[in-house]
């Protein structure tokens, strides 16, 4: 068995270098190759952890939350292994260990901080046996792959119930996440403690209208976005639990998000050097994990202040003095939040949308009809929309049916041409929105044409099904 283990490591490292030489990122292929030779490889690596593992799962925010937490632990002096690129299937998780290991298979680390795809969660959790599980939210995502949302929630829930030593960090504002506390595991909650948004919180995409226990329709005092908010059931009494970590205010100005956060009885100011309302949720989740890990809240805040986003998570570039933002979009809830960003200011802007329907994106693109594009109908500051990707025509059609004038809508058959058209537009800012398999090609093109603001290392979003 030991010989097979060593052979798998050598093969995995060889696959990594081959992938990089041929222009790939080497974030999933090494794990795929190694697991074919030695299926028990992930367990062999996981058992080497000095302190244990933290797993982050959910629909949106996994990569950012995972990378934020890894950075916090590293700032505390811990040696961390993390799949920072977003490769979150079993192959991607295994690759993170292969890349960090020596040829003999030894991995000197304290914590494994692992983003895990919802569908892969049962298999990875069974092997890794995490000490802490962070659950961000549950939204509809890739219906042709996951099925209906209740199916996703059920297998996360059943897996957590089989992990008696695991502690949970749960989003109090999402009833589908909060209900995981009834698995009997120790849990603490994070959320927003007061309504902080106006019109932008009134979108139409609501994933959880009915109580999962009795079926009664929820009553909401207010929404933050999608089904996240202050909910209660008049039938059985299920309601938003009290959160140990709460944001009391949120303000975004000039690309910086500030929030007053209460962590148990301590109140502090959090400054994130990136916009995006949903990033507050990601940061709150990290504060929650920090409580279980014994990291002082002020140290968490200091680390988050220095956080640099991964590829496509509101990654910022500059082209001829204009800011360019690249963001991943993959489901209605996340796309609506991107629309909130681009409509938050009155400055003229150009918008590029790359829509693919490869396996990793989901073959079914009907979800774009649940995105609230109608809100853009009368937004004169949005000068034009440039659609690209395998389903560019369908994206253009969706915009037309949203009431956007056809003279504002263009399609491009190639990413490079579309990106150039967007960058050479007349707006003072450009937003580029892309699905999974479009994100890395678009980012690669951007790197040739524009300058990245934060200077982060380029890491590609690895498709979850690769």
Q: Looking at the annotation, which residues are catalytic?
A: 364
The Cα 31–Cα 49 span in angstroms is: 18
| Residue 198 CB-density burial (10 A; 0-12 exposed, 13-18 middle, 19+ buried) | exposed
Residues 302 and 313: their CA atoms lie apart, in Å, by 20
Going 56 to 59 to 65 to 66, the CA torsion angle's sign is positive
- Furthest CA-CA distance within the chain: 65
- Angstrom distance (rounded) from CA 203 to CA 278: 15
Cα angle: 367, vertex 373, 376; to 5 degrees: 170
Distance CA 171, CA 188 (A): 9
Judged by DSSP in three states, 357 sits in: coil
Alpha-carbon gap, residue 314 to 216, rounded angstroms? 37
* ∠ Cα 220 224 228 (to 5°): 65
Q: Which two tokens stand for residue 166?
A: 């695991």
Tokens standing for residue 62: 């996994």
Note the helical H segments in 85-241: 90-100, 121-128, 143-146, 149-161, 175-178
Residue 244 DSSP code: S
Q: Two tokens at 229?
A: 């908010």
CB under 8 Å, gap of 24 or more: what pairs does 225-228 form? 225/197, 225/200, 225/201, 225/277, 225/278, 225/333, 225/336, 225/337, 225/340, 226/137, 226/139, 226/332, 226/333, 226/336, 227/174, 227/175, 227/176, 228/137, 228/171, 228/173, 228/174, 228/191, 228/192, 228/281
Tell me the two tokens of residue 210: 């009915």
Rounded to 5 degrees, φ, ψ at 60 are -110, 150
Give, for 259, the enclosing helix (H) or strand (E).
Answer: strand 256-263
């Amino acid at each position: 068995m030991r010989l097979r283990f060593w052979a798998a490591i050598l093969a995995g490292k060889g696959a990594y270098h081959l992938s990089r030489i041929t222009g790939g990122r080497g974030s999933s292929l090494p794990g795929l190759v190694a697991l074919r030779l030695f299926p028990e490889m992930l367990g062999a690596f996981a058992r080497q952890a000095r302190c244990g593992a933290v797993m982050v799962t959910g629909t949106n925010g996994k990569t950012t939350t995972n990378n934020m937490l890894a950075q916090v632990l590293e700032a505390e002096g811990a040696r961390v292994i993390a799949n920072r690129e977003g490769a979150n299937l079993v192959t991607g998780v295994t690759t993170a260990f292969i890349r960090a290991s020596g040829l003999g298979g030894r991995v000197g680390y304290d914590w494994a901080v692992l983003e895990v795809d919802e569908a892969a969660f049962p298999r990875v959790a069974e092997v890794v046996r995490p000490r802490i599980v962070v659950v961000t939210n549950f939204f509809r995502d890739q219906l042709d792959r996951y099925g209906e949302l209740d199916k996703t929630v059920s297998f996360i829930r059943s897996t957590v119930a089989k992990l008696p030593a695991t502690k949970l960090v749960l989003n109090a504002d999402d009833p589908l996440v909060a209900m995981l506390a009834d698995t009997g595991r120790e849990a603490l909650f994070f959320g927003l403690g007061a309504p902080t948004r106006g019109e932008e919180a009134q979108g139409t995409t609501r994933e959880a209208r009915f109580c999962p226990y009795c079926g009664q329709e929820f009553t909401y005092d207010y929404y933050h976005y999608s089904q996240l908010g202050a909910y209660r059931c008049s039938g059985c009494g299920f309601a938003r639990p009290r959160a140990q970590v709460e944001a009391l205010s949120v303000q975004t100005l000039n690309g910086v998000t500030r929030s007053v956060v209460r962590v148990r009885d301590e109140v502090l100011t959090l400054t994130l050097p990136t916009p995006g309302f949903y990033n507050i949720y990601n940061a709150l989740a990290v504060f929650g994990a920090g409580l279980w890990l014994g990291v002082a809240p002020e140290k968490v805040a200091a680390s988050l202040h220095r956080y640099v986003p991964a590829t496509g998570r509101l990654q910022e570039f500059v082209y001829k003095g204009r800011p360019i933002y690249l963001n991943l979009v993959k489901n209605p809830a996340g796309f609506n939040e991107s629309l909130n960003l681009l409509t938050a200011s009155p400055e003229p802007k150009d918008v590029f949308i790359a829509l693919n329907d490869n396996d990793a994106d989901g073959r079914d693109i009907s979800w774009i009809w649940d995105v609230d594009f109608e809100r853009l109908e009368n937004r004169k500051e949005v000068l034009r929309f440039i659609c690209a990707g395998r389903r560019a025509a369908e994206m253009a059609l969706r915009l037309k049916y949203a009431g956007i004038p056809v003279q504002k809508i263009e399609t491009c058959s190639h990413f490079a041409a579309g990106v150039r058209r967007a960058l050479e537009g007349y707006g003072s800012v450009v937003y580029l929105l892309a699905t999974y398999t479009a994100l890395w090609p678009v980012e690669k093109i951007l790197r040739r044409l524009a300058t990245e603001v934060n200077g982060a290392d380029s890491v590609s979003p690895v498709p979850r099904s690769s």
